Structure 1
Amino acid sequence: MHYFRIHPDLWEDRLLKLKACGLNTVETYVPWNLHEPKQGVFEFSGFADIQSYIELAGKLGLNVIVRPGPYICSEWDWGGLPSWLMTIPDMRIRCDNEPFLNAVERFFAELLGRLKSLQSTHGGPIIAMQIENEYGSYGSDKVYLAKLRSLLTGNGIDVPLFTSDGATQTYLDGGTLDGTWATVNFGTDPDASLDELEKYQPGLPLMCTEFWSGQGMRWGVSHRLRDPKAVAQCLERILARGAGVNLYMFHGGTTFGFMNGGLLLPDGSFSPFITSYDTDAVLNEAGDPTEKYFEFRKLFAKYNPDFDTGLAVPPASAKKAYGEIRLTHAAELIANLGHICDHPVHSPNTDCMEDMGQSYGFVLYRSHMRGPRKTVKLTILRPHDSAYVFINGVFTKKFTRNESDFTLHSELLLADNTIDILVENMGRVNFGHHMQAEKKGITQGLIVNDTHYHHGWEIYPLEMKDMSRLGYKPLDTMPRTPAFLKGELIIEDAPQDTFLKVQHGTKGVCWINGFNLGRYWNALGPQFTLYVPAPLLRKGANTVEVFEIENISDTSVRFTCKPEV
């Protein structure tokens, strides 16, 4: 259960539900890119306040297992690695590389300095820490793993350390480390997986660090649910072996903002994860117990002798369908570039996001071409991930990373023609050996008539952290997209959980009171609503903002009491 995917005001509710299910320990990853968003700038407040989360778990009588990475996977952007690593010379991630390990060392010093007093060896709730994460699915550098172990112990970590990998010899050969306890991850066939682990390290306790009760969802891929009773039967086979087990996920929560990751599939296509991290978990995205919860609770009553079955299960949160509201003001993106980007970058080339110090969001490339010309052929080289081309302010063509041809032919009508290319970062690859280079933007350039690179760009990094200066105007006609739209939700009583649906939109991002809820992509699904936890709302007026990239046919949005995922 990840602190960074749950509103801090709701941590206690989720932890109490975990305890009432019969579990005695909560596990969490630690995303490096959340805690060090800029090199040398550390964040440990709000959603990133891991200390308070661990202290609260201990106060509630729970143990804690911490998985500090530096890589976490977790369907999270670049597996938790900060994008600024890509700008460091000679950088090679997740191996015995001096620039990488120097950066890890600085992060671990900051993180572990806050956690070492919370270990069980010092009277705190932390009982174990993990070295790296599923490393056998990426590499086999034992020197690297040993140096990570030394960084942990050198920063005062003295609780048991462990590794976790897939339950086959190949994964275990790559990801384990002599002298360190090995554990395995799986979702089915527990006996075969535990047998493989037992064969690999006979005589040591068996542990499934990730028992996958469901899976993360990707845009355009239907949501596959696992039968609760079948999953419970699988879980019982683990418990009957006397093995430890961590449920992945007990509660998934939400990947708010732009923090989702993605997969590079065997056919080379890129497939990003959705905003919801429900994962068919034991608690759903809003923290409500599911059928799995009560099936699993019966098992823990049977196999956990310390489980107080008299503990009441906290109720599901109150939900409210606030109904339909109208977005009454709009601000077209291209007309507002100067309001959301103070300092455009001037470069001969189409610099990537990372090279401009940008991690997430969008980037707009602007240049000029002489005309008039009857036709010109433009080829974008390797756009990551979606590119929208505008010529003299008129939308011309869209490209996605998965296409094989990024060429358009267009007439240039004016003597001085403005070329705008908006590129969306849809999340970086978070798993496998494809992770090494995941820069975003136009990664190689623009070719004109198969002849030469086009040079001379004005580049607008758009992380969209502050929209307070947007030039919103009252809506009298539908705006030209991409555009921001704004309205108000009036709440008369205490706020309750709700779900936002941009039912007339195609693809975009939503904010509530300035908080980035995440992406919607109605053209693909399977997610059609965004979870709005009650603590993000307030009594009275609430500002709702929508950035629609492609097309919106009506300015109404709807708040419902049920998710559509």
Structure 2
Amino acid sequence: MHTFAIGSRDFLLDGQPFRILSGAIHYFRVHPDLWTDRIRKARQMGLNTIETYVPWNAHSPAPDTFRTDGALDLGRFLDLVAAEGMQAIVRPGPYICAEWDNGGLPAWLFTDPSVGVRSSEPGYLAAVDGFMDRLLPIVVERQVTRGGPVILFQVENEYGAYGSDKDYLQHLVDTAKRAGIDVPLFTCDQPFGTMIEDGSLPGLHKTGTFGSRAGERLEFLRERQPDGPLMCAEFWNGWFDNWGTHHHTTDAAASAAELDVLLSAGASVNIYMFHGGTNFGFTNGANDKGIYEPTITSYDYDAPLTEDGHPTDKYFAFRDVIARHFPVPPETPARRSPAPESVVSVAAGAPLLDVTSTFPAVAVPGPVPPAEATGQYSGFFLYERRLRGGGVLSFGEVRDRAQFFLDGAPVGTLGREHGEGSIVLPRGGLLQVLVEDQGRVNYGPRIGEAKGLVGPALLDGTELEEWSVRAVDLSSLDPFRASAVELPAGSSGRGGVAGPSVSFGSFEADGPGDRYLRLDGWTKGNAFVNGFNLGRYWSRGPQRTLYVPGPLIRAGANELAILELQGSATRTVRFVAAPDLGPDEK
């Protein structure tokens, strides 16, 4: 057993000064078979600690559930950190931001409009307690005081940028301590204005989050906390990307110089991100500061270790800086080698609307319902209603992208990013609206908002009620496989795929190994390998490839499935030698 404490100027491990050299790895963004590799490469860079958030909505996708299987096995992740001889920092929120869907807060929580957000509202606190009751035992038994790796535990997350409800923060502190958390508690906030004071409580260690002007930021932090060790809890050495923009990068030498300033000042650090990973499936978040901007599938973050787990120039620059201050291991990881290349053709497909029409429907007698009425909280939803005639159909808002069909024929698309809310319908018939939740806002006042079609739904000014809505359940592709038929022959074997549809192809492999899927000629949708949802692709870019973690690939035949929303100009995709995350900003 060990002790960990906060001294007058240092963190103290067993009474001795201990500088935290941490790197952020989100276990839920990395295939679990690759956790050890990523943790080891952090140690090889010279780090001694791994930090992670905990995504409440992933662990509890529905009320009264708590999953710890597969990529959600936090206990196993922390045990692997310990096995590598490293310490751990756990940041369970309950709000995490992290460019993650809804900032980690479960969407089901806000189907009750009376529930508060990040506040001491009783309904919200009760739900938080239910989450913590199941989470905290996993962390408590893995604290350094009980022979585990956990040395620090965070209360909320950059709360000073959102609110200043001290009763809420105190409730989180009391809950953690009552459950047996006895390592130091801390908060993190940006060193601006009153955020540090608003986001913390007396007795909690305060840390800063920043990526530049390190000396100035540390001085700001010291003015507000005269005693205790200085720490940057998020040293932003890269950034995330949104669809339709460039791939963000930061200069390796400049970032390394800032890290040197931090370490020279005697500060501890958590590098955010050390390894970003991937927003698999529908897990990406979004930002909305007047314009809705969903985050891409890759969470590479221009981190020292790439999305697929390889060292960059930044990795070695950081390692050199750390080596000036602390010993580093002699071994270093190898650079990326080319992945297998091949061309894969899809040969069969199923119309998405036809298959989805067999899924259970929720009929709502009143105004157009939110997508949450289905009990599914991400992905795609199909709204249906029969119309006697055409006209201008408008909605209060579309969240986030809606494709309109009359008797199966496409009539147009509306997108939230462009503020579009109305469409002309040429006639009546069966109206079907396929709505994509492109990611819930993860930062700011729009956290917790509903998805789908937002009323009122007006046809030439008259409100349309009595809608039905179906969840497009993609947890299994079996219904689509069962309905798939051979694609019609195109000219000389060429031709595209009509959307929305799910198409299937197969490819051979010698065994597990990373792949990079390139979808040139395809428009928008999701791709699956052996049933695993790799995430979203979109011709808007910036990213041009999807990362396929090696453990998903098996020896022999493998299945590729593509959910294409609009339509493609080709029936082929390519596995290429290396990832392409798009052009950098120059």
1:525 partner amino acid: G
Match of 2:105 among 65, 78, 81: 81
Quick check: 1:527 aligned with 2:547? no
Quick check: 1:175 aligned with 2:199? yes
Quick check: 1:382 aligned with 2:404? no
Separation (CA, whole Å) in 2 of partners of 1:334 and 1:445: 24
Separation (CA, whole Å) in 1 of partners of 2:470 and 2:456: 16
Quick check: 1:558 aligned with 2:574? yes
- TM-score for the superposition, normalised by structure 2: 0.92
Match of 2:375 in 1: 357
Quick check: 1:273 aligned with 2:295? yes
Match of 1:325 in 2: 344
Match of 2:329 in 1: 309
Match of 1:101 in 2: 125
Separation (CA, whole Å) in 2 of partners of 1:319 and 1:469: 36
Separation (CA, whole Å) in 2 of partners of 1:103 and 1:27: 25
Separation (CA, whole Å) in 1 of partners of 2:248 and 2:140: 40
How many Å apart are 1:490 and its aligned residue? 0.9
Separation (CA, whole Å) in 2 of partners of 1:263 and 1:281: 21
For residues 434-484 of structure 1, the C-alpha deviation after alignment (integer angstroms, 9 at most, x for no partner) is 32x42110021420111x211222211114111112100001155431111
Equivalent residue runs for 1:184-263 within 5 Å:
184-263=208-287
Match of 1:514 in 2: 531
How many Å apart are 1:396 and its aligned residue? 0.6
Equivalent residue runs for 1:339-350 within 5 Å:
339=358, 341=359, 343-348=360-365, 349-350=367-368
1:154 partner amino acid: R
How many Å apart are 1:404 and its aligned residue? 3.8
Contact 2:414/2:423 (8 A) holds in 1:
no
Match of 1:538 in 2: 554
2:217 partner amino acid: S
Calculate the aligned-residue CA RMSD, in Å: 1.3
For residues 364-414 of structure 1, the C-alpha deviation after alignment (integer angstroms, 9 at most, x for no partner) is 10110124xxx522112211000111112111111111334422223216x
Contact 2:240/2:248 (8 A) holds in 1:
no
- SS of 1:334's partner is helix
Residues 333 and 509 of structure 1, relative CA distance in 2, 3 Å threshold: same
Separation (CA, whole Å) in 2 of partners of 1:309 and 1:419: 63
How many Å apart are 1:308 and its aligned residue? 4.2
How many Å apart are 1:170 and its aligned residue? 2.3
Quick check: 1:395 aligned with 2:398? no
Separation (CA, whole Å) in 1 of partners of 2:459 and 2:179: 54
Contact 1:350/1:444 (8 A) holds in 2:
yes
Contact 2:371/2:469 (8 A) holds in 1:
no
Quick check: 1:481 aligned with 2:481? no
Separation (CA, whole Å) in 1 of partners of 2:110 and 2:372: 7
2:38 partner amino acid: R
Structure 2 unmatched runs, 5+: 1-24, 490-495, 582-586
Structure 1 unmatched runs, 5+: none
Separation (CA, whole Å) in 1 of partners of 2:372 and 2:388: 30
Per mean C-alpha deviation after superposition, the further-off stretch among 471-480 and 323-332 is: 471-480
Separation (CA, whole Å) in 1 of partners of 2:143 and 2:500: 49
Contact 1:317/1:497 (8 A) holds in 2:
no
How many Å apart are 1:433 and its aligned residue? 2.7
Contact 1:360/1:463 (8 A) holds in 2:
no
How many Å apart are 1:317 and its aligned residue? 5.7
Contact 2:247/2:543 (8 A) holds in 1:
no
Quick check: 1:443 aligned with 2:454? yes
Contact 1:86/1:354 (8 A) holds in 2:
no
Separation (CA, whole Å) in 2 of partners of 1:116 and 1:195: 33
Match of 1:464 in 2: 474
Match of 2:179 among 112, 131, 155: 155
2:352 partner amino acid: L
2:474 partner amino acid: M
Separation (CA, whole Å) in 1 of partners of 2:485 and 2:348: 5
For residues 186-206 of structure 1, the C-alpha deviation after alignment (integer angstroms, 9 at most, x for no partner) is 011001110010000102110
1:429 partner amino acid: V
How many Å apart are 1:224 and its aligned residue? 2.5
How many Å apart are 1:78 and its aligned residue? 0.5
Contact 2:101/2:286 (8 A) holds in 1:
yes
Separation (CA, whole Å) in 1 of partners of 2:125 and 2:370: 24
Match of 1:367 in 2: 385
- SS of 1:520's partner is strand
TM superposition outliers: structure 1 runs of 4+ over 4 Å: 316-319
For residues 206-253 of structure 1, the C-alpha deviation after alignment (integer angstroms, 9 at most, x for no partner) is 000000000011111112311101110011000000000000000001
Separation (CA, whole Å) in 1 of partners of 2:420 and 2:80: 53
Separation (CA, whole Å) in 1 of partners of 2:511 and 2:426: 56
2:370 partner amino acid: C
- SS of 2:396's partner is strand
Separation (CA, whole Å) in 1 of partners of 2:386 and 2:569: 31
- SS of 2:65's partner is coil
Separation (CA, whole Å) in 2 of partners of 1:278 and 1:564: 11
Separation (CA, whole Å) in 2 of partners of 1:279 and 1:333: 33
How many Å apart are 1:130 and its aligned residue? 0.2
Separation (CA, whole Å) in 1 of partners of 2:311 and 2:79: 24
Match of 2:353 in 1: 334
2:410 partner amino acid: F
- SS of 1:11's partner is helix
How much identity, in percent, do the aligned residues show?
Answer: 40
Quick check: 1:490 aligned with 2:508? yes
Contact 2:398/2:420 (8 A) holds in 1:
no
Separation (CA, whole Å) in 2 of partners of 1:434 and 1:419: 29
For residues 130-189 of structure 1, the C-alpha deviation after alignment (integer angstroms, 9 at most, x for no partner) is 000000111111111111111111111000000000011321132121111000000110
Separation (CA, whole Å) in 1 of partners of 2:233 and 2:545: 31
- TM-score for the superposition, normalised by structure 1: 0.95
Contact 2:45/2:328 (8 A) holds in 1:
no
Match of 2:14 in 1: none
How many Å apart are 1:344 and its aligned residue? 1.1
- SS of 1:19's partner is helix
Separation (CA, whole Å) in 1 of partners of 2:101 and 2:420: 26
Match of 1:292 in 2: 314
Separation (CA, whole Å) in 1 of partners of 2:384 and 2:124: 34
Separation (CA, whole Å) in 2 of partners of 1:479 and 1:6: 31
Separation (CA, whole Å) in 1 of partners of 2:445 and 2:392: 35
